[in-house]
Structure 1
Amino acid sequence: MTATPIARSPVKLALAIALLIAAIFAIKVVYDRYQDAYVVEQNDDREAIDRIVRTTFAKTTALKVATLSGTEQVTARDVRMGGWLTSAKVVKVPFTVDYFVDLGGLSPRKYQWDERRRRLTVEIPDISVAQANVDESAMTINQTSGVWVTRGAEAALAKTISAKAQGNAQAEGRKAEHLAAARESARRGLSTLLHGALAAAKQDDIAVAITFPFERASDGERWDTTKSIAEVLGNGS
């Protein structure tokens, strides 16, 4: 049976209202983001004030397993007026990079029990590298040079310094040797945690091996990572 225009009208009206509500919501989201990012909060005397504009709380299952910290030296150069006006900036600034393991995806199939060896093997997700944190408020060197450093040049130098410092710290945090150290820290930390739980359950004789997805051996076996390589090889000789 074909719907009559009268029957279709309420449907069209409901759809129009839904689209209107969605449009209003989208506009509000854009407006709120603009307010947060670009509108300066002021007091009654029109002076800018310190204020937390917006906060968001989100739960996470990521476990921090390591932190890389260091100091970097960053340089920037600005050229204006066809090369007649040059300025430079050099800073030394501390940074940190955190490493996490997301335990939210640890399903039962990630646990393997070897009854004969009394060994529990747990395959965890690979390390994730957080956004580097560069603490520009703790600079130990902040030198600007140039015959005449304009306000625009100073702003450009500071922007370049911030971008380079962030990029350099992030690249350092992703180096293979630091990822390897973070993985080893994750192994030891989670192994200690599981050993404690097993000990509380009077299962002290169970060995715990923490592995990553890419570490499967060709014969299906995994290294017992609760021991060093030298100990494993020594026991096998």
Structure 2
Amino acid sequence: MKHDPLLRNLLIAAALALIVAVVWILWDRYAETRMATLPEEGGAPVTQIVTAKLTGTGTLKVAELSGIVQATASDVRGLGWLRSDQVVKMPYSVDYFVDLSKLRGRDLQWDAQSRTLIVDAPDVAPAPPNTDEGRRTLVETKGLFVTRAAAEALSQRTSIRAAAVAQKEASSPERMAQAREMGRRAVARLLAQPLTAAGLGDVRVVVTFPPERGAQAREQWDVSRSPGQVMKDIEARERK
């Protein structure tokens, strides 16, 4: 079957453009992560910003969990003869966000009689934990002979485990419940401001999150009371 020369040329041009784009992306990543940037006069690399990008988001920070995390790690080398263990502590923090960009018109209900705005907000989500490696405290290192490679491996493993422990704590039911209460207040304050500025007077904003909404959520959520009291009543009925 003969191919149209114009079509063939277009396919070749598209393939070449794709190859150039892939090569450029790979080179950009290599330059960002591997190549050291030297000063204009040459010589040793300098401390400087390599890349920077400012991106707008629709997320609202509603809470922050912080504290000290302890992590342990072990390393075995030399056919099991060289074992080393390490225990470290370091500060950590986890931010909680609500992505308000996901709000749609159907997620908002306005009750003119009670002057109440009911908001079915996206759930609160914890961000990846931040562990302060610069302020880590070496609690204990055990081992007959800790090689340099073993020390580097221990440091990496304790960092990974510290982040995992912090993430688990931040995602626990207790912490998520606390973050949702803080998120409820933050979202309510944010959405009440434009309504008040529009001349609607004293407006109440009731914020609900997905775990609190069910088949009877609208019947259970009494806007004449505070959200916190309503949730306590719902939990009390579920325990009976």
1:192 and 2:159 correspond: no
Is the CA contact 2:207–2:227 (under 8 Å) kept in the aligned structure 1?
A: no
Higher mean C-alpha deviation, range 184-193 or range 82-91: 82-91
| TM-aligned CA distance change 1:95 to 1:207, over 3 Å | same
Is the CA contact 1:119–1:207 (under 8 Å) kept in the aligned structure 2?
A: yes
Percent of paired sites with the same residue: 37
- Given candidates 68, 92, 97, the residue that maps to 1:95 is 92
The whole-number CA distance in structure 2 between the counterparts of 1:109 and 1:94 is: 41
| TM-aligned CA distance change 1:87 to 1:112, over 3 Å | same
The whole-number CA distance in structure 1 between the counterparts of 2:142 and 2:155 is: 13
The whole-number CA distance in structure 2 between the counterparts of 1:230 and 1:96 is: 30
1:176 and 2:173 correspond: yes
The whole-number CA distance in structure 2 between the counterparts of 1:87 and 1:232 is: 50
Residue of structure 2 in register with 1:25 after alignment: 21
The whole-number CA distance in structure 1 between the counterparts of 2:80 and 2:232 is: 64
The whole-number CA distance in structure 2 between the counterparts of 1:214 and 1:230 is: 14
Residue of structure 1 in register with 2:7 after alignment: 11
| TM-aligned CA distance change 1:227 to 1:126, over 3 Å | closer
| TM-aligned CA distance change 1:231 to 1:155, over 3 Å | closer
Q: Say which one has the larger Rg.
A: 1
The whole-number CA distance in structure 2 between the counterparts of 1:171 and 1:227 is: 27
Residue of structure 2 in register with 1:127 after alignment: 124
Within a 5 Å distance, the mapping from 1:80-119 to structure 2 comes to 80-119=77-116
Residue of structure 2 in register with 1:36 after alignment: 32
1:75 and 2:76 correspond: no
Unaligned runs of 5+ in 1: none
| TM-aligned CA distance change 1:47 to 1:116, over 3 Å | same
Residue of structure 2 in register with 1:229 after alignment: 229
* TM superposition shift of 1:74: 1.0
Question: What amino acid sits opposite 2:11 in the alignment?
Answer: L
User: TM-score normalized by structure 2?
Assistant: 0.85
* TM superposition shift of 1:70: 1.1
Question: What amino acid sits opposite 2:78 in the alignment?
Answer: M
* TM superposition shift of 1:223: 4.1
* TM superposition shift of 1:227: 4.7
* TM superposition shift of 1:37: 1.7
Unaligned runs of 5+ in 2: 234-240
Higher mean C-alpha deviation, range 44-53 or range 116-125: 44-53
1:216 and 2:217 correspond: no
- Given candidates 194, 202, 206, the residue that maps to 2:203 is 206
The whole-number CA distance in structure 2 between the counterparts of 1:210 and 1:230 is: 12
The whole-number CA distance in structure 2 between the counterparts of 1:167 and 1:95 is: 11
The whole-number CA distance in structure 2 between the counterparts of 1:196 and 1:150 is: 60
| TM-aligned CA distance change 1:42 to 1:148, over 3 Å | farther
Q: CA RMSD in A?
A: 2.5
1:54 and 2:51 correspond: yes
* TM superposition shift of 1:34: 1.8
In the TM superposition, structure 1's runs of 4+ consecutive aligned residues that sit over 6 Å from their partners are 230-233
Render the CA deviation track for 1:100-145: whole Å, top value 9, x for unaligned.
1111121221111123333210111011221110111012345433
Within a 5 Å distance, the mapping from 1:140-159 to structure 2 comes to 140-159=137-156
User: TM-score normalized by structure 1?
Assistant: 0.86
Classify the secondary structure of the residue corresponding to 1:68: strand
* TM superposition shift of 1:46: 4.5
Is the CA contact 1:87–1:144 (under 8 Å) kept in the aligned structure 2?
A: yes
The whole-number CA distance in structure 1 between the counterparts of 2:222 and 2:214 is: 8
Residue of structure 1 in register with 2:61 after alignment: 64
Is the CA contact 2:62–2:182 (under 8 Å) kept in the aligned structure 1?
A: yes
* TM superposition shift of 1:210: 0.7
